[in-house]
Amino acid sequence: MLKTVVGSYPAFPQEPSSVSSKIADLFGSYDRYKPALELAVHDQIKAGIDLISDGQVRGDMIEAFAGKIPGMTVEGNISKIVGKIKPLPHSLGASDLKLTINTAKKISNEFDKSELLIKGKFNENFKGVKGIVTGPTTLVLSCRIEGFYDKDKKDDAIIDLAWALKKEVEYLEEAGAAVIQIDEPFLSTGVADINTAKKAVEIVTKDINVPVSMHVCGGIGSVFNDLLGFKVDIVDCEFAGLPENIHALESSNLRGKKIGFGCIDTKKEEVETTEDVSDLIKMGIDLIGEENMIIDPDCGMRMLSRETAFAKLKTMTEAVEWLS
């Protein structure tokens, strides 16, 4: 089974310390987040993750987009929509994605060499990097609408944002993303309009040639069947922090989709035992079959300590090894 992460990793921006980095800082070319990204890549590879991320080290999943996309802004810690949402003239994440691929290649010569899909099945020997965007529904519902759009009718903003994110996803694919992941945690909250969300995800992923995953953490009991109707290849959910989610798999017709099987609780510092994780994965295998499972933690790991995040990833990959 392919092992991946949801995205974020504990990030420690580093102030310039060497003479050359201090000089670079004077000229505005020192990047505090580059060491944090390299550390996230290093830890993921060392823990045995196949499909890694850039660690999303530059900020949280809302502000990283709301602070940059035309029509959106961040004031204090409030994200706002203040004008018509338009695509960015340049990519937000492509250079970090390229840096992640290059860093990974330096650490391991297995990266970026194999095909992710072989005859429609995921290649378990695959090593690559995923590109991640926050979904249009989650982004709009996390913002205060203060201009251009009607406060009570968020659909127009969601669709405009979908077109803006489509451009970003194209940049990420071009930069070498093996998978595109759309984070839509708001779809499990009951406040999102599923039909608009579905239409928006279809816009974002239109003409994308790599597999698309949609991450929806939270309770999925009432929406799982709807999620399986989205035009994506992988639906990624949490099963460790919310064990009752497993019931959603019991009688589901997956309609050709793979399930991202979150099996590590990312909300608590306590590291689970390999046995507990492998038992949970085994329950998933019994319900939907190993060939339909991609193994990952429940959600991003930003809020954990680095030691805990690494130990949890290592436990997860060991649990998968036990079962293979």
Binding footprint of Zn ion on the chain (CB under 5 A):
185, 217, 299
215 vs 262: CA distance, rounded Å: 10
Cβ-based nearer residue to Zn ion, 72 or 299: 299
Distance separating alpha carbons of residues 25 and 14, to the nearest angstrom: 12
Between 175 and 179, name the residue whose CB sits nearer to Zn ion. 179
Nearest of 221, 311, 237, 318 to residue 268 by alpha carbon: 311
> What's the closest the beta carbon of residue 299 comes to Zn ion, in angstroms?
3
Q: Are 116 and 50 in contact (CB under 8 A)?
A: no
Taking the alpha carbons of 253, 256, 260, 261 in that order, is the dihedral positive or negative? positive
CB of 53 to Zn ion, least distance (A): 13
Query: DSSP 3-state helix, strand, coil percentages of the chain (rounded to 5)?
Result: 40, 15, 45
Continuous segment of H or E residues that includes residue 137: helix 136-141
Nearer to Zn ion by Cβ, of 101 and 248: the residue is 248
Nearer to Zn ion, 99 or 316 (CB): 316
CB of 56 to Zn ion, least distance (A): 11
- The distance of closest approach from Cβ of residue 174 to Zn ion in the complex, given in angstroms and rounded to an integer, is 26
For Cα atoms 85, 194, 166, give the angle at the middle one, nearest 5 degrees: 35
What number of other Cβ atoms are within 10 A of residue 309's Cβ? 28
CB of 43 to Zn ion, least distance (A): 19
Taking the complex as a whole, the smallest distance from the CB of residue 133 to Zn ion amounts, in Å, to 14
Residue placing its CB nearer to Zn ion in the complex, 60 or 202: 60
CA distance 42 to 266: 19
Q: Which is nearer to Zn ion, 177 or 217 (CB)?
A: 217
- Residue with smaller CB distance to Zn ion, 71 or 135: 135
In the chain the first and final C-alpha atoms are separated, in Å, by: 8
Min CB(7)–Zn ion separation in Å: 8
What residue ranges in the chain does DSSP mark as E strands? Answer: 2-3, 51-52, 72-75, 78-81, 117-118, 121-122, 128-134, 144-145, 179-183, 212-215, 234-238, 258-262, 293-296
Dump the DSSP string for 153-177. Answer: --HHHHHHHHHHHHHHHHHHHHHT-
Looking at the Cβ atoms of 69 and 217, the one nearer to Zn ion is 217
Nearest approach in angstroms of CB 300 to Zn ion is 6
